[in-house]
Structure 1
């Protein structure tokens, strides 16, 4: 990256907030539903991504079943997400971080696989919603992360180039999405994957707490390359 970014994009769950989503229960529910639809789910587990589950089912059932599969899978996720959104908590230092970013003129976006209603509720409950310039959720894209579709949507909203965006997230899915579209990715510990795993998947660097991002941005303002 040759200059400071204009848009700071955050993942939501595990990055900005503690989202008490029972992911394993949701995925087991999805696997049972797909099995009832006639899908061979022997290759799926709670370690599988939601998009991977959708792709597996569509590959077996045929492309004409894509929308039906997607609706069934995402409706299950939506139920669990809405429950979790009511208990969401902001990660330490996040309120201060977003306030500092706004003071310094950065645009702030959230790009999440979460359903919009649940994402808005979580941001509202944690009093972060008013700090966010754009919220991009799964309803607005064809494919979930690890696809780069959410970040492509961010670039379109802000008319920004990949070099003008910095993406912060806590998972390998976030890292892969950033890599696909050529956006610099910074990992944050405390979420789904640890720092070593994030570095192995193209994170430029890893921070332990979200507020440490300000140090990274200060470096960007004083060096020609990052």
Structure 2
């Protein structure tokens, strides 16, 4: 991993659960909606949401319930509620200073999220000066290959010069498929959860740990 860190010029961050402490709130909201529209008990619904996190909610619902009659209604309620709550989400304590420190080390920083783009812009507003690019979900423009290709083109960098920091198993799997080194922020999933993927990665509890690794290379 140290060799990969040496090549890096750009660090791409997922948003929810990685920079922003929002996943518990989203999990509670999703559990209520899944219980309401699909008659799944809230504990099971919570696990279902967690296990499929990392993709837009509409795709989570499609994956879990297929073409259920209430799918569109459930997705609309979830996204509307998130939009109303987005201004109250808070960054993890280590994030504002951590972003500044990484920028001072000379790295381009980007956000790549499957939260809707307008939500992402609203949430990132207090720290937006740290980022070269801020990307959210739009139709046919998702976190993963589409976002990463756009970042490479805009910043004139290669795959080998990128790192992706995320909190979900889906983030890790997608990063591995695209040959972009992955750094797992623990919290939504444990170190043991990530270990089960058998994917090489660095695991951190906070951005200070990431900064320490960069200072060592």
TM range (shorter): 0.7 to 0.9
Alignment pair present for 1:193 and 2:189:
yes
User: In the superposition, relative to structure 1, how do residues 129 and 26 fare at CA in structure 2: closer, same or farther (>3 Å)?
Assistant: same
Give the alignment of 1:126-165 within 5 angstroms.
127-139=126-138, 141-143=140-142, 148-165=145-162
Rounded Cα–Cα distance in structure 1 between residues aligned with 2:76 and 2:128: 24
1:16 to 10, 19, 24: 19
Alignment pair present for 1:29 and 2:25:
no
Question: Which has a greater percent of helix?
Answer: 2
Rounded Cα–Cα distance in structure 2 between residues aligned with 1:32 and 1:180: 35
Q: CA RMSD in A?
A: 3.1
Query: Tell me, which stretches of 5 or more residues in structure 1 are unaligned?
Result: 36-43, 62-68, 222-226
Q: TM-score, normalised by structure 1?
A: 0.74
Q: TM-score, normalised by structure 2?
A: 0.76
Structure 1 runs, 4 residues or longer, greater than 4 Å off: 30-33, 55-58, 71-74
User: In the superposition, relative to structure 1, how do residues 16 and 203 fare at CA in structure 2: closer, same or farther (>3 Å)?
Assistant: farther
User: In the superposition, relative to structure 1, how do residues 29 and 203 fare at CA in structure 2: closer, same or farther (>3 Å)?
Assistant: farther
Rounded Cα–Cα distance in structure 1 between residues aligned with 2:132 and 2:61: 31
Q: CA deviation at 1:216?
A: 1.7
Task: Say if 2:9 and 2:107, in contact at 8 Å, map to a contact too.
Answer: yes
Aligned length: 201
User: In the superposition, relative to structure 1, how do residues 203 and 139 fare at CA in structure 2: closer, same or farther (>3 Å)?
Assistant: farther
Residues 141-199 of structure 1 show CA distances to partners (whole Å, capped at 9, x for unaligned) of 4555xx5443333333323222110111111111112111100001112x311122123
